Structure formats: structure tokens, C-alpha cells
Amino acid sequence: MADNRKVMRVLNGETVYPPPVWLMRQAGRYLPEYRETRKQAGGFLDLCYSPDLATEVTLQPIRRYGFDAAILFSDILVIPDALDRDVRFEEGRGPLMTPIDAGGIAGLDGSKLLTHLAPVLETVSRLRSVLPEETTLLGFCGAPWTVATYMIAGHGTPDQAPARLFAYREPEAFSALLDLLADLSADYLCAQIEAGADAVQIFDSWAGVLGETEFEQFCIRPVRKIIDRVRQRHPQARIIAFAKGAGSLLADYRQKTGADAIGLDWSVPLSFARQLQDQGPVQGNLDPMRVVAGGRALDEGIDAILAALGQGPLIFNLGHGITPQADPDHVAHLVERIRAA
């Protein structure tokens, strides 16, 4: 029997036209209903750890737009939070935590990971029970490199210099941190799959600050470890890997990590994206600012991607998360234009 989950069909290598569509951060601050729910939660992590509220905000964009996939509402930093790194979110400053050093890395204890994240797994289970059958449920985690950059600096930085410097000065401790994060991330993704996620995505949002050698060591190697460990327990698992800003280093990223599909940011030329698609499914890569602009800019961006990538396995998405400035009506137009293609 044919799978009516379009995203899963693409992840299995099929070309589906018009392509399925979902948007990174589709449950977020651009939606008035999200902002109302967020007020109920109090803090951001409180929202992530409330199955009632996290289920609600995950479903909001599905109700409004009928996206082909729902992505679990959570955050990439729940793993360091489970490691007692005092993660907190401050308005206007983003995520904060106490910076970790080599001694702190040696003392990390991941034994309570799944106990701490049980509310998130409950959200996954609830979502699968209430989502339409044709809607793919995506789980996710942050890639070890990206999560490590926040743990080392204690906050986001423009070029993640603290993590890069730490990696050069303390290579053994840094490698140990990446290995631990890879092991915990694999356990977390397996638990999400077991709770009902159809597929999972690994977000390496800071891959673009690394040189070729570092990209191999800090991005490819730990993501490969995650994927190998997940497939040991779930051989049929479908996994999307998104290395934002990696550019030409994406040429063999799929082969080296074992990912089924690769996410592309908006800076990836469509001609190069087409070459990557020859190797398998791709996801992306509309500039989020086109959604803010709307009108002709939005239409031209959509049409260019469909023309370049629509004849192969494509999941239509943005090249990064939707921004709070996006007009919900522009998102509705995006979905309508893709489905009318």
C-alpha cells in the first residue's frame, strides 16, 4: 500500500510533485496563537517541558496551514539542560548557561538524560496520536558541535570563537565532549522514534564557522556516530542532517554521515543543490527574508526552487528558521503556491 505521508516518501527517495512542505521554526513567534500559549507557560523551557502546551504549539501551524510535517516543539539545548548546565533563556539575550571547562566536561553525567526528557517524549507520543495520519512527525536534536559551542561559551557568539579556541587548546577534552553529546543525542533520537516520531533531523546550525579539517572532525564524525548508533537500534530510521553554512563541504556530507536527506541553507546555489540532489533527497532552501518580504520576492524564490529541484526528491523548506517578523498570510501564500505548482 502506498505511503500517504509525502515527507516519508521523499525521504525514501521518491520524487513527489508538488513537493511536501514544512518550515523550520514553523511553531513560533510569528504566530499570534503561539504568543498566547507562550504567555501561559511562563519560561521558554517550561513550555518545552509541558506536554500539554508543547503539543498545542506543535499543532498550531498544522491546523493553520496543513503542513506535510509537524516538528516536535522543543529546543536543541535540552540535552545540556539534562546535564545540569543551568540552561536559561532571557528575553533579548537568547540561551545562557555557565561556561564549561575541561574539568566540567570530565564530570558530566548523562545517566538521567531520558528521565529528565520524559516530558518531551510524552509530547512526541501525544502528537503521534492526534496528528493526521498523512502528517509526518519529525523529532530532532542539535548536532554535537553546535550544542558544544553554547556549552563552552555559555551563550551564542557571532563566530563561535570560544569553542574553536577551546578545541585547539584542549583537543582531548573537546573530543570527549563531542563523543558524549553524540552518544546522548543518539539515545534521545532513538527514544523519540520509539515514542512515535516518523523521522528525525539533526541541526548543526554553526557548521559554517569551521574550516575543512575542523568540519570533518567536529561536524561529520559526531553526526556519523549519531546516525550509526540510531541505525543499530532502528535500521529503517530516516534522518535529515542540516549543516548550515557548510557550502562546498556539503559535496560528500551525505556519504560521510549516512544521512538520508540533507538540509540546505539559502546560500547554497541551486545549481549545486541540483548536484546534491543527484545523490538523494534534499530539503530547503528558501531565504527566510523572502517570507518576510512577501509579494514578488516570495514568488520568485519559490518558483526558482521548484524549477531547479522539483523534478527530484525535494522537501520544500526554508534555508533556516522562519523569523518572528514573517507575516502569517505570506506563509499561507507560500503553501498555496507550492501546492498549485
| Per-residue confidence (pLDDT) for residue 289, from 0 to 100 | 98
- Sign for the CA dihedral angle at 326, 332, 333, 334 comes to positive
Nearest to 53 by CA among 62, 44, 65: 44
SS3 89: strand
Q: Which listed residue (150, 253, 254, 260) is catalytic?
A: 150
Outline where the chain has alpha helix (H).
Answer: 6-11, 32-41, 44-48, 51-65, 78-82, 102-106, 113-116, 118-130, 144-153, 161-169, 171-195, 212-214, 221-233, 253-257, 270-277, 288-293, 295-309, 328-339
Mean pLDDT of 17-21: 98
Mean pLDDT of 167-175: 98
Tens digit of each residue's pLDDT (9 = 90 or more) over 262-277: 999 999 999 999 999 9
Mean pLDDT of 130-137: 97
Domain 6-339 sits in CATH 3.20.20.210: yes
Mean pLDDT of 119-123: 98
Quick one: what percent of the chain has pLDDT higher than 90?
96
Q: Is 75 a catalytic residue?
A: yes
Tens digit of each residue's pLDDT (9 = 90 or more) over 301-326: 999 999 999 999 999 999 999 999 99
Q: Is 224 a catalytic residue?
A: no
Q: Which listed residue (5, 30, 34, 38) is catalytic?
A: 38
| Residue 256 grid coordinates | 560521510
Maximum separation of any 2 CA atoms in the chain, in Å = 56
Please report how the helices 221-233 and 171-195 are oriented relative to each other, as an axis angle in degrees rounded to 10. Answer: 30
Tens digit of each residue's pLDDT (9 = 90 or more) over 221-267: 999 999 999 999 999 999 999 999 999 999 999 999 999 999 999 99
Residue labelled with grid coordinates 559554517? 208
Q: Is the pLDDT of residue 92 over 80?
A: no
Q: Which listed residue (68, 75, 198, 265) is catalytic?
A: 75
Q: Which listed residue (5, 25, 221, 238) is catalytic?
A: 25
Mean pLDDT of 295-306: 98
Quick one: what percent of the chain has pLDDT higher than 70?
99
Provide DSSP, 93-138: TEEE-PPP-HHHHHT---TTHHHHTHHHHHHHHHHHHHS-TTSEEE
Rounded CA separation 263/257 (Å): 13
Residue 90 pLDDT level (bands cut at 50, 70, 90): confident
Q: Is the pLDDT of residue 1 over 70?
A: no
pTM strictly above 0.75: yes
Rounded CA separation 157/128 (Å): 36
| Per-residue confidence (pLDDT) for residue 140, from 0 to 100 | 98
Query: What's the Rg (C-alpha) of the chain?
Result: 19
| Residue 271 grid coordinates | 545549481
Q: Is the pLDDT of residue 31 over 70?
A: yes
Rounded CA separation 299/319 (Å): 16
Nearest to 123 by CA among 51, 61, 56, 190: 51
Q: State how far the alpha carbon of 24 is from the alpha carbons of 72, 171, 190, 263, in Å.
A: 11, 33, 21, 11
Q: Is 38 a catalytic residue?
A: yes
Q: Is the pLDDT of residue 120 over 70?
A: yes
Rounded CA separation 325/330 (Å): 11
Residue 264 sits at the vertex; the CA angle it makes with 259 and 265, to the nearest 5 degrees, is 145
CB 187 within 8 A of CB 113: yes
Q: Is 25 a catalytic residue?
A: yes
Q: Is 188 a catalytic residue?
A: no
Tens digit of each residue's pLDDT (9 = 90 or more) over 46-81: 999 999 999 999 999 999 999 999 999 999 999 999
Rounded CA separation 221/275 (Å): 23
The per-residue pLDDT of the chain, averaged, comes to 97
